[in-house]
Structure 1
């Protein structure tokens, strides 16, 4: 399974098409901006089902992943329509080109009632919210979303991550309370370790020696030097970094707080791109790459290639959230999760995503005439019962309960249709992922791997929401800085840029106003602390 958190860390403020006008001629007036439109509240139940006595219809715009089937054919939405009395007309757009279609809806002001699984960025939420095209949700949450409200009380880090400086919530995230869905596991080939009489590495030096043995000592026994000692995904996406650098950064004390290249120590924000610790980490990865211990395709391989390498058994060390690519293959028991390795300064951090993992997953637009019923509709999926329906479909047909936990039936697994029946496949669906609904992504092998990561997971502060002016300012700064940083990082690791150029690299970051960017994040962090 692809690392969803890595692609949806709440940091990204870059919007490719925001030169389009946020509001058309029919944009709601100023009077409507700070209050949600009121539907027939006397007809909306505050608890239980149906949500409304007489059926209502909602138009929802959504992204569909390549693996998904039509939303109207999914059991979750067919069954929930009967339960809730809310009929949904889905306006589907594939992942490729989705952002452009989404932006066009707002630019033309031809809005649906709901943006579902829409991946709204923080800048989009602020812009379309203050412009009156998205309505504030905090009052609706308080009255009509008991499940979501309880989660926000239980996990206080959720509210500041989705609340604007003015106190409004314009979009609801996906919420992940199970740790294993917020981390990449560190999968190591234990069959190779045993054959070569090696122990699990505990330090970066020991990892280096293990990888050399994987390269040189023919652990697969075919007489060829064709083993891949270590591999990783090629890209985390624009502004999201180089995955192998993110994962190894924890061994050098490099965290990713506030959804960016940030450490927080004693309430001080430090963007560490040009730091000595980062230089050390990149030099270590350069050594692995230059000695062919790190996959030579690590910067170019497609997702399908990376997944295929996991299932071959010919890889020594790789990273993934689950063991899904290995399931059903002869190599499944060949791998074991290991702990983060300790770096030269004793650092041993595990990168993870925050509890509010998928920002902008759900929003209600200003054309929606039934916002109260709509909030009740989505709130169900922030309960274990609703999330079970969304993720697993129909009991008996698709899943069975074992000790109260849903598992896909063997017969249904054999069909290979899991991604056809649920919108969670492909990531970004607004719902709760808890231990009670995570059996498919959190089987025993993954649980054991996660136990080795839990002691090293710091508290994560999600990316803050900025006012529109500040968000635009950050967007401009990061457009240049992120692109430059990721290009240079790749060159440093691959040996295309000498570390003699590190001073020039630091100077260029300064010229790009990285200190100004750091101050903006510091101000946002200070405001977040004040709200608690």
Structure 2
């Protein structure tokens, strides 16, 4: 994790940056790098301007031949000189660039952490953006005015905005949903999905004992998970924790604005108790703590698994998208009136930043601001009209897909040749009207499942996207690794019975000695600061 500048240096650099920007923001046009920056419309600059841009490259594209970037260059009069690095090694390259002193003018889809923003903003490497936003970013400013939580979530503790985010108002999932195997439901004549933990247990028990795959073997696996990224059960934990009133597996804030460190909570203990019950009766796959995603998927495709997590069910089951495999609706236990349901905050910070050596921050802000307009977001997310899509009614923003050129079969692969917004956290805004008319029957069904089973039942973000101060981040960094390792070990032991749940109090005492209560207090302070901003 990056080191942090001293507070005095941070405030001095930031105040100098604001003063410089305030001086330029008052003009209708800005003379920069020999070009006049127009505050509205295209071109952005009156004379050709070249800016350098650094971004992660997925390896599927040639950035110099993307039609979207060609159109943007022609409209804006700004040519881009790419200094990209492979996606898999981008963070390493980014750190080297920050250390070198030779910065690109713009960081695009850079995944700048809040710690990096504070650090490099405090050093004056990344410039404050709020004055530029007010003067040169009407589209993004409109987003901030209409969504105050976005402004709060991207504002550093020193009051400055150092990077613009990805805003995904149409993506509501906190993690991949759990799905039911529809064939098993039919075989067991299930017409009403479980609504309580007892009903869920009963269903899983029937899967285990009634041979729903019909092969005459007791090979069914009621519920499975993987140890992906060395995190126990992460793909199903959040949804099952909700049955016991817990929104997230590490930090969450309750309806009374109190922050909780989940592994200390009674709800977490009850989750462990329920999972231990499933384990003891072989209703939870005994390889869940060791298998990879690929091994889990192989079992699902072998028609052995009743419940599993993935982006969509067919991606595990194989075959074509189907509406026969319903989304899991979180169930409640006896300890709560309704389940806690997590939702995506829709904000990914650190997507775009401007360096201190940029010859025209104003032109750069105008350039990126277009990506937060409907027209710009549509162009960068779907490509130009007439290639992969066209309007059927432009007045209502309704569209339809066109056949993939040259007889292609992979729409996403072809899209990756048109636009940089593929497989990376690119600065943009995704809203429902961008997709209007483009969703097929299956996508419409998934959206309805999401609405009725999650959103209509009170789904909300467990914890807001926010900044920690440098001191808070340092403390969290020092606590997190050991706490996470211990919690993951104990979760597995409690569930498998290697550690009896009668030792819960001993476990809690150990957590508190390791700093768990301190962790909750740090995040409580950060949340209170965010809420009052």
In the superposition, the TM-score normalised over structure 2's length comes to: 0.85
Q: CA RMSD in A?
A: 3.1
State the alpha-carbon separation in 1 of the partners of residues 137 and 298 from structure 2. Answer: 42
2:9 — aligned with what?
none
Shift, 1:161, TM fit:
0.9
Shift, 1:458, TM fit:
4.1
Give the secondary-structure state (helix, strand or coil) at the position aligned to 2:305: coil
Range moving further from structure 2, 292-301 or 335-344: 292-301
Higher relative contact order (CA 8 A, sep 6+): 1
Alignment of 1:446-457 (within 5 A): 446-451=446-451, 452-457=453-458
Shift, 1:526, TM fit:
1.7
State the alpha-carbon separation in 2 of the partners of residues 92 and 305 from structure 1. Answer: 34
Q: Does 1:74 align with 2:74?
A: no
Q: How many residue pairs end up in the alignment?
A: 505
Which consecutive unaligned segments of at least 5 residues does structure 2 have?
Answer: 7-11, 25-29
- Change in Cα spacing, 1:157 to 1:313, as seen in structure 2 (3 Å) is farther
Q: Does 1:497 align with 2:490?
A: no
- Change in Cα spacing, 1:253 to 1:170, as seen in structure 2 (3 Å) is same
Alignment of 1:349-428 (within 5 A): 349-356=340-347, 358-402=348-392, 404-411=397-404, 414-419=408-413, 420-421=416-417, 422-428=419-425
Residue among 155, 158, 170 paired with 2:162: 170
Shift, 1:511, TM fit:
0.9
Alignment of 1:169-248 (within 5 A): 169-180=161-172, 182=174, 184-198=176-190, 199-232=192-225, 234-235=227-228, 242-248=234-240
Which consecutive unaligned segments of at least 5 residues does structure 1 have?
Answer: 1-14, 23-27
State the alpha-carbon separation in 2 of the partners of residues 468 and 20 from structure 1. Answer: 6
Range moving further from structure 2, 509-518 or 117-126: 509-518
- Give yes or no for contact 2:14–2:121 (8 Å, CA) kept in 1: no
Give the secondary-structure state (helix, strand or coil) at the position aligned to 2:79: strand
State the alpha-carbon separation in 2 of the partners of residues 414 and 218 from structure 1. Answer: 41
Residue deviations 1:23-45 (CA, integer Å, cap 9, x gap): xxxxx978745456667367122
- Give yes or no for contact 2:479–2:519 (8 Å, CA) kept in 1: yes
Larger radius of gyration: 2
- Change in Cα spacing, 1:244 to 1:181, as seen in structure 2 (3 Å) is closer
Give the secondary-structure state (helix, strand or coil) at the position aligned to 2:326: strand
State the alpha-carbon separation in 1 of the partners of residues 223 and 400 from structure 2. Answer: 32
1:435 — aligned with what?
432
Residue deviations 1:308-342 (CA, integer Å, cap 9, x gap): 66666653222334467279824623312242111
Give the secondary-structure state (helix, strand or coil) at the position aligned to 1:229: strand
State the alpha-carbon separation in 2 of the partners of residues 127 and 72 from structure 1. Answer: 32
- Change in Cα spacing, 1:83 to 1:296, as seen in structure 2 (3 Å) is farther
Range moving further from structure 2, 384-393 or 175-184: 175-184
State the alpha-carbon separation in 2 of the partners of residues 76 and 368 from structure 1. Answer: 23
- Give yes or no for contact 2:14–2:122 (8 Å, CA) kept in 1: no
Shift, 1:272, TM fit:
2.6
1:127 — aligned with what?
119
Residue among 81, 88, 97 paired with 2:80: 88
- Give yes or no for contact 2:241–2:247 (8 Å, CA) kept in 1: yes
State the alpha-carbon separation in 2 of the partners of residues 97 and 226 from structure 1. Answer: 41
- Give yes or no for contact 1:114–1:365 (8 Å, CA) kept in 2: yes
Range moving further from structure 2, 190-199 or 175-184: 175-184
Q: Does 1:472 align with 2:474?
A: yes
- Change in Cα spacing, 1:34 to 1:300, as seen in structure 2 (3 Å) is farther
- Give yes or no for contact 2:235–2:309 (8 Å, CA) kept in 1: no
Residue among 90, 93, 109 paired with 1:98: 90
In the superposition, the TM-score normalised over structure 1's length comes to: 0.85
